[in-house]
Amino acid sequence: MRTGMRTVIFDLDGTLADTSGDLIAAANTCFRQMGAGDMLSAEQDAGTALRGGKAMLRLGLERMAHDDIEAQIEVYYPHLLTAYGTAIDVHTTLYPGAMQAVQALSTAGYKVGICTNKPAGLAETLMTRLGVRQAFGSLVGADTLPVRKPDPAPLREAVLRAGGDPAASVLIGDTATDRNTAAAMGVPCILVTFGPGDHDVRALEPEGLIGHFDELPGVVQTLIG
């Protein structure tokens, strides 16, 4: 049994909230600026959206058959962040049961925090707009430290800022990035199966899988006590 202050750290995009609709809208703003139409759709490209802005730009530029994709990504990425920041919570919704699970964990004595590869300012804005920022003891973003996930340093920082013990922590996520981050720190990972990458997630063989947040407190208790 782990004896330090037990801590549960959450990824944000695709784990706590489905942010894909607003991310895709921001990317499409960039494609329109390039003189093209909307190159991405929320129905078809949610999985790409949850891998981040540059992944969306790359996919759209490939569909446009652009001849200098990487350079265009660097040019338009700041425009994407600006567009996203101005309309960050139009389509975004928290996944069912997410905040009930967070509250249950807090009530049971766990520290809770967020570790995301979204820029910290955008993550703070989104969680505040959604009315749930106060439920988390920490929020570490892509630019909080010089490195980002899958480097374990941001996860460790998120645990420490929440008041917890890194050795008694677990990361809740939805991608190989989260799986690799937890492995690099030597702690368990629980992946959600309700996101666009369901089958990919199962193939990663994390220590835990949940299909709904109702399952989370029990799986956390099994893994870290």
Active site residues: 11
Strand partners for 164: none
> Which phi and psi angles does 188 have, rounded to 5°?
-70, 160
Q: Is the omega angle on the peptide bond into residue 150 within 30 degrees of 0, that is, cis?
A: yes
**Strand, coil or helix: 206:** coil
Residue 153 in contact with residue 177, Cβ under 8 Å? no
82 vs 181: CA distance, rounded Å = 28
Amino acid identity of residue 204, one-letter, is L
Amino acid identity of residue 200, one-letter, is D
Q: For residue 8, give both structure tokens.
A: 């549960």
Nearest to 223 by CA among 189, 175, 192, 193: 189
Nearest to 145 by CA among 136, 158, 126, 133: 158
Contacts of residue 204, Cβ cutoff 8 Å, sequence gap at least 6: 176, 179, 191
